[in-house]
Chain A
Amino acid sequence: DTAVSQTPKYLVTQMGNDKSIKCEQNLGHDTMYWYKQDSKKFLKIMFSYNNKELIINETVPNRFSPKSPDKAHLNLHINSLELGDSAVYFCASSLSGTQSTDTQYFGPGTRLTVL
């Protein structure tokens, strides 16, 4: 069973379009995250949710809007896609997000290409 899954795995779209990436975890974790990994492999946090509540909201354009329908799901909606949004987006989850020993488990990533 996949612990953290993301769909789609690949997403190719035109500039200006709106798209969504879905994430689900079956680990029973309370906290979920979205990360962006650029072409140089730099991994940077975008958002985190704990029990459907937004905890971390980094300096991300407001074209990016996370939505957590329940604690097992955290989706990422992106409006008006730009070339610079091309990257790999990773979802992750951790048991609580507040314990120092928490481990984050990452999904396989969604490779977004904006043309």
Chain B
Amino acid sequence: QKEVEQDPGPLSVPEGAIVSLNCTYSNSAFQYFMWYRQYSRKGPELLMYTYSSGNKEDGRFTAQVDKSSKYISLFIRDSQPSDSATYLCAMKIARGSTLGRLYFGRGTQLTVWP
């Protein structure tokens, strides 16, 4: 079992839809959670960063963390065709020799059609 599980999709939604992307994890040492967006043939870019349970909002994006369930989500409101990309969740532990190392999910490919 991989430490970070993410449904690869693909996910296809119409413009304006609310998108929900999810990851689950098994390692309770993970304390920091990120969402990266990767456009086709580009490098991943950080979208959201959070470390506490609850919600964090940034424009149309909301990151949600539930540490008790080991479950994180990314919501995209009013989705746009420009949101079409692969979304990768990533996590890291709080301390120890592997501090700084990111553990990635497999990525969910999202297409928003006009």
- Considering the complex, give the chain A residue whose CB is closest to the CB of B103: A45
Q: From residue B111, how far is it (CB to closest CB) to chain A in Å?
A: 14
From residue 1 to 27 of chain B, which have CB atoms closer than 8 A to chain A? 8
Q: From residue A113, how far is it (CB to closest CB) to chain B in Å?
A: 14
CA distance A96 to B98 in the complex (A): 13
Q: From residue B49, how far is it (CB to closest CB) to chain A in Å?
A: 7
> Which listed residue, B32, B94, B107, touches A42 by the CB 8 Å rule?
B107
State whether A44 touches B104 (Cβ < 8 A). yes
In the bound complex, residues from chain A placing their C-beta under 8 Å from that of B101 are 45, 48, 56
Which 9 residue pairs are nearest across A and B when measured between Cβ atoms? A106-B43, A97-B100, A41-B107, A43-B104, A106-B44, A42-B106, A108-B43, A103-B46, A107-B43
Enumerate chain A interface residues (CB-CB to B < 8 A): 4, 31, 40-45, 48, 55-56, 90, 92, 94, 96-98, 100-109, 111
25 contacts between A and B (CB under 8 A): A4-B43, A31-B100, A40-B8, A40-B106, A41-B38, A41-B107, A41-B109, A42-B106, A43-B88, A44-B104, A45-B101, A48-B101, A55-B100, A56-B98, A56-B101, A90-B44, A92-B43, A96-B100, A97-B100, A100-B92, A101-B32, A103-B49, A104-B46, A106-B44, A106-B45
